[in-house]
Structures are given as C-alpha cells and as structure tokens.
A and B are shown apart, each in its own frame.
Chain A
Amino acid sequence: MKALHRICLVAAFLTAAACGGGSNDNGGGGGGGGTREWTVMVYMAADNSLAVQGILDLDEMEDAGINDKVQVVAQAEFSPSVLDQQQCTAACFNRPNFNTFRYAITQAGGSARNGPDRGTVSEIGGGSNVDMTNPNTLKDFISWAKTNYPANHYALVLWNHGGGYTGLIQDETSGGSGLMTLDELKAGLTGAGQIDVLDFDMCLMAGYETLAKIVGLADFAVFSEEVVPGEGNPYTSIIDGIQANPTQDARTLSGMIVDRFNASYQGSKASTTLSAYDLSAFAGFESSLNDFAATLQAGLPGLGTTISQAAGVSQKYTLPQLTDMVNFLDSLNVRVAGQAALQTKIAALKSAVTAATFRINNAVHNGNGQTQQGGVDDVSRSNGLNIVLPSGTGQDVLPQSGGSSLASYQALMPGKAWTSFLTAYAGGQGTTAMTDQGDNRFEAYLVWDPDAVAAGADVDFWVLEPDGNIYVPAFGSVTPNGTMSNDSYGDQVNFEGYLTNRYVAKGDYLIFADLWTDPANFQPAYNLAFRYDQTANFNLFFAQPYPVLSLQTSWLNDPTPTPAEIFAGAYTDLKYVGTQTFNGPPAPIARPGATASMASVQATGRGFTPAQLATLRRLVTIERLGGDARPPRLAGLWQMPFSPRGGR
C-alpha cells in the first residue's frame, strides 16, 4: 500500500495532476503556487455520529462552485453503522463502499446528489478504511493536498468532534471511541509545512491548550469555545467568501469565517461562539499568562476560595472545566480589590488576550432553543478563548482519572506555569465535602405580595452558603452550589431565589429576606416557596399570618449591624427566613432559634462578618440612591430617580 502511495505521489509530482484524479477545469495540480491562491483542505472524520452532517457539508462545498484561484479538497469517511440506522448504504452518498476517500471539487454546477459528485475521487492506498485519529493519516492528507493542489495559502479544516483539552476527532470503525490527543494533533501537523489558517469545525476547541499545541505550526486559528451546531461551518458561504476575494490574506480569511459562521446562525435554536486568533502574538500572550499564573499560585491557598468563586460565576461551557478567560479575569478582579499586584497582572493578561494583534475576531450568538435549566445556553459572556479552570463544585472539577483529569492535563501541558498553578489550586480542592441530591434538588424562592411590585417595592433573596459567602441574585447568577433566578427588580416580578446544583457542599444554607426599596411604604408580606424534587409542587414555609418587611427599622441605619441582631429580629428590612441543611440527604428546611443560627454562622469560620455586611451595605446604599452597583446586564434599570417614601 505504501509503495503504491509513493508511486502515486511521484506521478503526481511529475504530471502535476492529482493521484487518482485531480485532472480538472482549473488544471488540477498544475495550478502551481504562483496562480492558485488558496487550497482549502477539509479533513472530514465522519465515521461517527456526525456522518449525515458530513455528507451534507460536502454538498455545501459543492454548492459554492469552483474558481481557478481556490481549490477545495477533502479526505472523508462516513460511519457505516450510522447510515445503516437510516437504512442507507454507501450509495446514499454516491460511493460504492465505506472506504476513506479523497475528493477534489473540480466541476461547477452545485451538488446534484448527496455525497461527492462534482469532482474527482480517489481511495487511499488502493482502498481501505484508515484511522483518521492517527496523526500520520492527517499528515499524509496535507501532503497529498499540497502536492496535488499547491497554492500560495493553505487553510486546513479539521471536521468532527472536539473536546477541548481532552482531544478531538473520533473514528468509530478504525479508531474506536478514543479521541486524537492534542499532542497527536501537533505530531500530525509537525513537518506538514505551511498552514495559514487552521479551522476547527468542531466543539470546544477555543482554548489556551489548543493554541499552545499548534503555535509554530499554523499562522491563524479559528475555533469555538462552546459546542457547535451539528451543521458546523456554512461551507457554501465561506467558500463563496474566499472565491470572491481569493487574494485575501490569512488574517482576513480567518475573520471572514467567524463573521459568516455567526451570520449563518442568526435565528437558530443553537447558541454559537466562534473566534479567530493570530498565533504570531501567542508568545506575548503566554508570557502574560505565565506571570498571572505565578501570581495566583503565590497567593494560594488563601486565594483559592476567591479563585473558585470567580471561576464559578464566569462563563462556562458544556465541558464545565472550561472557563472563558476574560470573563474570569473580570470576575476575579472585582473580588481582589486592593490587591494591586494581582490586579496589575489581571489587567496585563486581559490586555494581551484581547489585543487586536492576537484576537482577530470573536462572535457570539444566543440561540432561541431551550437547553439546560429550561433556558437557552447563554454564551453571551464569551470573549473568544477559554482555559481549563474548574470551580471545584458540582461537576465542575477535574476528575480523578480519565482524559479530563488533572493528571492528563499535567501530561498534556508539562512545564507550563498554568499547569503548575492548576496543580496547586486543584490539588487543594476536594476538601469541601459534597452531597449528591440526584435529580431531586433543593429549590427555593422568596415570594411576596404581587401588588408590592406595582407599588415599587422590591425584595431581595439572600443566601449564606457554607463557604461563608452571601449570594444575592442582583449581584450574580451563579453560586458555588446553585443558580440564581433573575433579579426580581429587573424583571418586575414578585419572586426570586435559586435552584441548587445536584452536588452541593455539605453544611447550612441560611436564607434571608431583604427589603431593598419600598417607596410607597407598602410593607410587603412574604413567604418562601420550596421543594426538593423538580417534579413536585412547591411548599410554603410560613403559615398565616405571613411575616412582613418594612423600612421602619433599617439595618442600614445601624452603623454596626451584627448577625446576632439579624437573627434576633432587630431589623424590619432584613429578616432571617430559615436554614436548609445538607449533611447527606437534605434535612427539611427549618427555622432554628437565634442561638443555633449564630452557631451555624460561626461554624463557617468566616461567614457573615461585619466586612460582608459592610460590602452589602455599600452596594445596597448605592442602589437605593439610583447608582449602578449591579452587573452591566442590569445597568440602566438602576438609573431610576430616587423616590422618597410615600404613605400607604
């Protein structure tokens, strides 16, 4: 087989025609580097669940037509078992068998049938099903494409599954369930020569780890932080874009892919992310990352909880260990006020990772479909590049073993400053005892008189979690142990609360009701609706007469409010509601007395401190004066003029 392959390559070289084909309208391989501007090489590993999408994407490529300055070639294979599920043989994609084939689109007219029907097709090595996860298979394809369709520029599209740092490309028939590792990708590209643009048409590859492996092997990278829709790239549009301007450089082409991908999914049910980076600026970026990582590591273990919290509230993806880098930097920055050295590193890294010389383009789109938690997969805080950074809670951890474990990361990224930090940081995780609620998770909402909303009153749900921090929907949407509802004031509704994660830290969760504003002195009554099973009806915590909030005795007017005073009911605008305890299966929510509640707070070691109350006082005071203490998503809602209290 290999001898035959070599003979074919030699013949191709001599005749400047493709081995097993390639004679075509534009002179086949004879276009030469001086005349053909771009060769687009699509490595389509569709011998897996994506077989049908692969066939349809080949059709999209054909629909773009041909151009003597641009050549599209592919190496493809499709899953026999997946097509059999649709009562299809290879004839469904215009082939006699399921062997791996190489294809050059050389005929105009657009796709007439599913599968390759607008060019020349050849099988590899006389006909076989090769392992697309083998780096040598990738290297051979690139070599074949460059030899037979030389051009001034090369774009390589890796088409298949992607799993971020856990790997990419699956081959059901020849490679089993495993993925090609990032190191194997590096091996496949090493020695393959110039790759101007490397486009990952797959999920989750827009990570630091990906860039670290392809730097020096490709000039520009295009990839997605989140999973991608099954349809992947809009090939007709992208190839049209290259054909329309074949002399465009790699930077322009990379940015164009992002724009056309994003445009194609407007109105789609799937959320999308896509970004493009210039690898010539990677070294500068990594230098900033190294400085940042070293500073973080020097701050451990004291900084560990803060990092975990910042990671937990940052933009996450379907593989939860992946964290948007810029969003994390922003989340961390607000949590380390006063730590000038660290904030300087944060600013430097943010500047490097968002520099126009590095990040060429970034586009995000929230779909209109429903996914987890019944809402859209919100990717709006994606800034183009993620990094492995688990929060350490729920499933957002590095598992003990397997391709996503810390050990695998250490093997993948040896000697990197981020690996050193991650080892110290993640090694310190796992000290929090967790409990598994299964699918029956504790869910609680503070609810109050609906008429209070019209009267301008607003109530805030506070929860003091076992880590000793207070979480409020108005100041964030995610806690280490749950997901908050929207802020009620922003939505003009009379409830807010949260749904805990499946895995929650053991300990006490103390819930409070805070009256933020009550301009008409409505004095809303409130209750707590809760349940332990998302299929069950809600229970109400208080029986009549329901407790009431008012601004009559405000904790904000006490210069030194204490937890003991709150538990004792000293304030009318901040009231303790109840405690949910997790030590194994959740104990029923209860309302222990002030002494027991104080003991619970003190058990956290750091919780509900005067400093925390001072911070909340500052934020709430800003808000009450019409300021802008809440996150940008709610900015604008806080521009309301201050309304003096009115009588009821």
Chain B
Amino acid sequence: MKSAITALVAGVLACHPANGGTVPGPQKVSVHDVLTRPALVGKAVEVTGRCLGYSVPTVAVGSPPVTRSDWQLEDQGEAVWVTGSLPEGCTATTPAESASTISAVVAQDTMPGLGGQTPVPRQYLVRR
C-alpha cells in the first residue's frame, strides 16, 4: 500500500493531470491460470470463482498453505487455496451460492511429498 501510494504521489503536485497515475491494474485470470502458471507468482490478479469454504467439498490440492482457515475458490471443477478473509455469502462450512471476484496476489509454496513422493510447488492466492 505504502509503495503504491508513494509512487502515486511522487511529483503529483507538480503537473499531474487527472487520471495521470501509473499504478498498473491487476490481471484478470482464471483459477486454472493461477494453478498452472508459475509466472503469475507475485502478480496482483483478479480471479472469479465460487467460495467453497475450507473443507467440504475439498477440491483444492494439498493442505491449506498458510492457516488452517484458508479456503478454496473453485471454477470449472478446479480450486485454488486462498488465505485471507472469506467473501460475502460464504462461511468456513457453507459454500457460496454464486461466484464472486476477488483481488489477490499469487504466491507459491511447496507441498510436502507423502509416502516418498516428491515435493511439488503450487500456487495459491493471498487475498488483498
């Protein structure tokens, strides 16, 4: 937040026209994009999907990445883990009835390999 505003106000009083800021907007991406494009890590994104809460059904792969209350955002049968506040209309145990769009930053961690499996990197979302 601070860096974005700092960038905004640098010289803002010199000769800035209205709408003259330079803060880039986030990319609109799908759940599938987040899961399959490691290049998105660190990027601000907007993702649309249905909040499933944290467990039932469990569609996202692996453990919740940050806290035990991380939740899933589902689209087209795939789900990504999201850490942060739940969207309106969704509770930890009650999925949302409809899709919503959230703003988030893509992050990555490594899923532990069980039973001798190889650890696997995966992407998840940090809700802003």
Task: List chain A positions with a Cβ less than 8 A from chain B.
Answer: 48-53, 55-56, 79, 81-83, 85-88, 91-94, 113-114, 160-163, 166, 170, 172, 176-179, 202-204, 227-230, 232, 269-270, 318, 320, 369-375, 395, 402-404, 436, 439, 445, 447-450, 485-486, 491, 493-495, 502, 525-527, 529, 534-540, 543-544, 546
| Contacting pair B55 A161 (CB below 8 A) | yes
| Contacting pair A269 B117 (CB below 8 A) | no
Query: Do A230 and B128 form a contact, CB below 8 Å, given A370-B105, A535-B103?
Result: no
Residue total for B at the interface (Cβ-Cβ under 8 A): 61
The distance from the CB of A206 to the nearest CB of chain B, in whole angstroms, is: 14
A437 CA to B53 CA, complexed, in Å: 23
Complex: chain A residue closest to B6, CB-CB: A493
Q: What are 21 A-B interface contacts by the 8 Å CB criterion?
A: A49-B60, A50-B63, A53-B68, A82-B58, A93-B114, A160-B68, A172-B55, A204-B69, A230-B64, A230-B67, A230-B70, A270-B67, A371-B66, A395-B85, A395-B88, A402-B94, A450-B10, A494-B9, A495-B6, A535-B46, A537-B20
* Nearest 3 interchain pairs by C-beta: A92-B115, A177-B56, A537-B21
| Contacting pair A161 B57 (CB below 8 A) | no
Complex: chain B residue closest to A163, CB-CB: B92
| Contacting pair A113 B64 (CB below 8 A) | no
* B98 proximal to A (CB < 8 A): no
- Our pick among A94, A177, A450 for the contact of B55 (Cβ within 8 Å) is A177
The distance from the CB of A497 to the nearest CB of chain B, in whole angstroms, is: 8
| Contacting pair A270 B128 (CB below 8 A) | no
| Contacting pair B112 A373 (CB below 8 A) | no
Query: Do A538 and B23 form a contact, CB below 8 Å, given A372-B84, A402-B91?
Result: yes
* B35 proximal to A (CB < 8 A): no
| Contacting pair A176 B56 (CB below 8 A) | yes
- Our pick among B18, B55, B65, B67 for the contact of A203 (Cβ within 8 Å) is B67
| Contacting pair B21 A170 (CB below 8 A) | no
Given contacts A402-B91, A529-B9, 8 further A-B contacts (CB under 8 A): A49-B58, A85-B62, A204-B69, A229-B66, A371-B126, A373-B1, A395-B88, A485-B5
A52 CA to B103 CA, complexed, in Å: 28
Cβ of B91: which chain A residues have Cβ within 8 Å of it?
Answer: 402-404
Cβ of A179: which chain B residues have Cβ within 8 Å of it?
Answer: 93
- Our pick among B17, B64, B84 for the contact of A50 (Cβ within 8 Å) is B64
A100 CA to B23 CA, complexed, in Å: 53
A543 CA to B12 CA, complexed, in Å: 11
| Contacting pair B93 A448 (CB below 8 A) | no
| Contacting pair A538 B8 (CB below 8 A) | yes
Complex: chain A residue closest to B95, CB-CB: A177
A537 CA to B8 CA, complexed, in Å: 9
Complex: chain B residue closest to A226, CB-CB: B67
The distance from the CB of A552 to the nearest CB of chain B, in whole angstroms, is: 20
Cβ of B117: which chain A residues have Cβ within 8 Å of it?
Answer: 86-88, 92
Within 8 A of A (CB), among B1-44: 1-2, 5-6, 8-13, 15-23, 25-26
- Our pick among B56, B67, B103 for the contact of A439 (Cβ within 8 Å) is B103
The distance from the CB of A234 to the nearest CB of chain B, in whole angstroms, is: 15
| Contacting pair B62 A52 (CB below 8 A) | yes
| Contacting pair B57 A535 (CB below 8 A) | no
Cβ of A493: which chain B residues have Cβ within 8 Å of it?
Answer: 2, 5-6, 9
The distance from the CB of A200 to the nearest CB of chain B, in whole angstroms, is: 11
The distance from the CB of B28 to the nearest CB of chain A, in whole angstroms, is: 9
Cβ of A495: which chain B residues have Cβ within 8 Å of it?
Answer: 5-6, 8-9
* B83 proximal to A (CB < 8 A): yes
| Contacting pair A535 B68 (CB below 8 A) | no
* B101 proximal to A (CB < 8 A): yes
The distance from the CB of B93 to the nearest CB of chain A, in whole angstroms, is: 5
A179 CA to B10 CA, complexed, in Å: 51
A122 CA to B104 CA, complexed, in Å: 45
A414 CA to B13 CA, complexed, in Å: 59
| Contacting pair A270 B66 (CB below 8 A) | yes
The distance from the CB of B72 to the nearest CB of chain A, in whole angstroms, is: 8
A91 CA to B114 CA, complexed, in Å: 9
| Contacting pair B105 A227 (CB below 8 A) | no
Cβ of B61: which chain A residues have Cβ within 8 Å of it?
Answer: 85-86
Cβ of A486: which chain B residues have Cβ within 8 Å of it?
Answer: 2
A86 CA to B59 CA, complexed, in Å: 11
Cβ of B115: which chain A residues have Cβ within 8 Å of it?
Answer: 88, 91-94, 113-114
- Our pick among A114, A203, A448, A536 for the contact of B114 (Cβ within 8 Å) is A114
- Our pick among A178, A232, A371 for the contact of B83 (Cβ within 8 Å) is A371
Query: Do A529 and B68 form a contact, CB below 8 Å, given A86-B117, A502-B88, A540-B16?
Result: no
| Contacting pair A540 B56 (CB below 8 A) | no
Cβ of B1: which chain A residues have Cβ within 8 Å of it?
Answer: 373-375, 485
The distance from the CB of A287 to the nearest CB of chain B, in whole angstroms, is: 33
* B80 proximal to A (CB < 8 A): no
| Contacting pair B55 A92 (CB below 8 A) | no
| Contacting pair A450 B11 (CB below 8 A) | yes
The distance from the CB of B88 to the nearest CB of chain A, in whole angstroms, is: 7
A97 CA to B109 CA, complexed, in Å: 29
| Contacting pair A447 B9 (CB below 8 A) | yes
